[in-house]
Amino acid sequence: MPVPGTSPVKRNTLRQQIADALCDEVLAGRLPAGRQFTVKEMAEQYGVSATPVREALLDLCSQGLLDVEEHRGFRVHEFTIADFRHMVDARTMVVEGVFRHYSGQTPRTMTPQALASARRRAEEAERAARSGDLDILIGYDLRFWREICGLVGNPYVLDFLQRLRVQTWVFTVPYLRRVPDLRGQLWAGHCELTAAVTRGDPSASERLIGAYNTHFRMLIERLVVGAGAAGNGTTSR
């Protein structure tokens, strides 16, 4: 039943809501890599018709999170350590290029309101990283990077980077969840990076982004190797 005072949910809105909900399920690991399911199964789970569910699933396929299996439905895409390395390399090159492009300029998107919002996101993401709360960090981290890159980027680059970050989290979350206590192990330079971007310091921004990617890559590769050594079937393809 619609909430009083609100308009009925439109089909395209419902499609996006379902896509967002499913993306959250994949990010949280509740829909793990390799998990198979059908449109009917998801439609029953969300209590909606098949059409918006099918559209939402195809949207997630276009984002690289799901694969279509002919006559069998859908499967959560299985990323490899090689995919992870390529994703980190790609986002490093793109982000560094964006900041270098705007060196010495003040983009129109860098308004006082946008800067204030980016600082708030940085504080939230850094707090979650320091506490090691993975569930909270994922959402804050995605919003932080979207806003910080939005200060100096364009929407096409922004969407590409967001897609890469979601895919990176999908691969890394299962490994990070195996760590009993993540406090002190996650990168927490969000506020420092925001300050560098705010003062228009591309060299400091690039240095911090490089430090973040190096830290993240080393942490995950160590966890992947550890998982393989434990003999649980995980490979480092």
**More reliable by pLDDT, 11 or 174:** 174
Residues 43 and 142 reside in one and the same domain: no
User: CATH no. for residue 63?
Assistant: 1.10.10.10
Is residue 20 domain-shared with residue 85, that is, in the same domain? no
Name the least confident of 21-30, 75-84, 224-233.
Answer: 224-233
Please report where in the chains the tokens 């002919």 appear, as a residue: 70
88 and 68 share one domain: no
Q: Write out pLDDT tens, residues 148-168.
A: 888 877 788 889 999 999 999
> 119-136, pLDDT tens digit by residue?
999 999 999 999 999 999
Domain boundary among 26, 48, 76: 76
- Of 108-117, 187-196, 199-208, the range with the highest mean pLDDT is 187-196
User: 73: which strand partners?
Assistant: 69
Of residues 191 and 206, more confidently modeled = 191
Q: Is residue 5 part of a domain?
A: no
Q: Provide DSSP, 52-74.
A: HHHHHHHHHHHTTSEEEETTTEE
State the residue range of the domain holding 44: 11-76
The pLDDT, as a whole number, for residue 110 is 82
Query: 151 lies in a domain?
Result: yes
pLDDT at 99 over 80: no
Mean pLDDT of 30-36: 93
Query: Where does the pLDDT of residue 105 fall: very low under 50, low under 70, confident under 90, or very high at 90 and above?
Result: low
How many independent structural domains does the chain possess? 2
Confidence bin at 205 (pLDDT 50/70/90) = confident
Last residue of a domain, one of 20, 54, 76: 76
Q: Above 90 in pLDDT, residue 64?
A: yes
Q: For residues 63 and 120, state if they share a domain.
A: no
- Domain boundary (76, 110, 133) is at 76
The CATH number that applies at residue 102 is 1.20.120.530
| d(C-alpha 59, C-alpha 127), whole Å | 32
Question: In the predicted model, is pLDDT for residue 23 greater than 60?
Answer: yes
Residues 98 and 213 in one domain: yes
Strands 66-69 and 36-37 turn out to be unpaired
At residue 235, does pLDDT exceed 70?
A: no
Say yes or no: 153 and 200 in one domain: yes
Return the pLDDT at 5.
Answer: 43
Q: Tokens 């939402």: give the residue.
A: 56
pLDDT at 131: 96
Considering only residues 211 and 151, tell me which one the structure prediction assigns the higher pLDDT. Answer: 211
Both 131 and 221 in one domain: the answer is yes
Matching residue, tokens 């308009």: 7
Residue 171 identity: F
Closest CA to 41 of 15, 75, 12: 75
